[in-house]
Amino acid sequence: MMKKQLIMEKALELFAEQGFEATSVKQITDICGISKGAFYLSFKSKDELILALIDHFMEQITSNIDYVVTNSNDESVLHAFYYEIFTSFHKHSDFAKLLMKEQTQSFNDVFLIKMRYYDQLMDKTILNMIERLYGENVEKTKYDLIFCVKGLMHVYSTLFLFNNVPLDVNVLAKTLVEKTNLLAQHTNTPFISKELMETFGQPMSEEMSADQLIDVINQKIEEMEESIEKESLTLLKQELIEPTLGQAIVKGLIENIRNHPHCKWIAFLLRNHFKV
């Protein structure tokens, strides 16, 4: 199991540098110092590896952003959002590079669906934030705003990822907050209407069912040692099967598990499910 992590780490470096297609399994196993067979003991295929990488990092990044956004006040939420994103990208710069390089590529159906899934989660988070901050004022322009925010994120990420520009995340976040506010408060001409958004934005992937959630939780529970987190998770599972606890308790339980590295994603899914 240690090996799986080693492979993911080293492969990520290679993917970031050369791209996924240009990196061979042989190259990966060589710098890991393991045999080809050992690789296929950890991953069924090269594709499975990149999918695992995407999930591993996107779950982390997505849930962190979501938490930060839902737990900041209106004054600070935009700044917190940008700050969190760029901090994540900076910390996991190899993954961020991989993401940039492969996001328009399309070798694999599963890959594509996964990318679209996380992209839609991001859209949702941004939209949420925008609606909360500007309300009715951006009714006509909010979809354009999503794209503007993503466009800004994209260029500035490229800038510091591929040009080793020294990064002061705080300043960067500040400038983008200013720009976002400007665009939100003064834009009048929309390009993306609600209808347009719906025609191309394949119906937002619906949420996970309670049953699916329970499966994921069961799997995690088995991996965990006894702890407050495990207890909280067990209670939350119970709540999924048969709701009895109040909102406050549920929220508290989710808060308990939120910082456990293995639970971040589940915490995110549960927050979404219980809408707390």
Contacts with a second copy by CB under 8 A lie at 18-19, 21-22, 97, 100-101, 104-107, 144, 147-148, 150-152, 154-156, 158-159, 162-166, 171-172, 174-175, 178-179, 182-183, 186-192, 196, 199-201
Is residue 51 at the binding interface for DNA, with CB under 7 A as the rule?
no
Q: Applying CB under 7 A, does 23 fall inside the site for DNA?
A: yes
Separation of alpha carbons 180 and 78, rounded Å: 8
Among 6, 13, 25, 231, binds DNA (CB under 7 A): 25
Q: How far apart are CA 269 and CA 275, in angstroms?
A: 10
Name the binder of 205 from a second copy, DNA, none, CB < 5-8 A by kind.
none
To DNA, the closest distance from the beta carbon of 41 in angstroms equals 6
Q: Which does 34 bind (CB under 5 to 8 A by kind): DNA, a second copy, none?
A: DNA
Binding partner of 228, given DNA, a second copy, none, CB within 5-8 angstroms per partner class: none
Cα 261 from chain centroid? 14
Q: Which amino acid is at 44?
A: K
Binding of DNA by 31 (CB under 7 A): no
φ, ψ at 153 (rounded to 5°):
-55, -45
| Size of site (CB under 7 A) for DNA | 17
Residue 170, both tokens: 């705080």
| Closest CB to a second copy among residues 73, 189 | 189
Shortest distance (Å) from residue 6 CB to DNA: 10
How many Å apart are CA 86 and CA 191, to the nearest integer? 27
Q: Which residues have a Cβ under 8 Å from the Cβ of 47 and sit 6 or more positions away?
A: 107, 108, 110, 111
Q: Which does 45 bind (CB under 5 to 8 A by kind): DNA, a second copy, none?
A: DNA
Using alpha carbons, select from 217, 204, 83, 63 the residue that is nearest to residue 153.
Answer: 83
> CA-to-CA distance for 172 and 213, rounded, in angstroms?
37
In angstroms, rounded to a whole number, what is the distance separating the alpha carbons of residues 62 and 271? 13
CB 127 within 8 A of CB 194: no
CB contact at 8 A, 118 and 62? yes
For 117, the token pair is: 């899934």
Residue 3 CB, nearest distance to DNA (Å)?
5
Q: Does 41 bind DNA (CB under 7 A)?
A: yes
* Among 46, 84, 269, 276, residue whose Cα is nearest residue 176: 84
d(CA 132, CA 185): 13
Q: Which stretch binds DNA (CB under 7 A): 28-36, 118-126, 148-156, 171-179?
A: 28-36
Nearest approach, Cβ of residue 179 and a second copy (Å): 6
In the complex, least distance from residue 250 CB atom to a second copy, rounded to whole angstroms:
37
| Closer residue to DNA, CB minimum distance, 25 or 221 | 25
For DNA, the binding residue among 6, 19, 38, 197 (CB under 7 A) is 38
Nearer to DNA (CB atom), residue 36 or residue 116: 36
The binding site for DNA (CB under 7 A) comprises 3, 23-27, 34-38, 40-41, 44-47
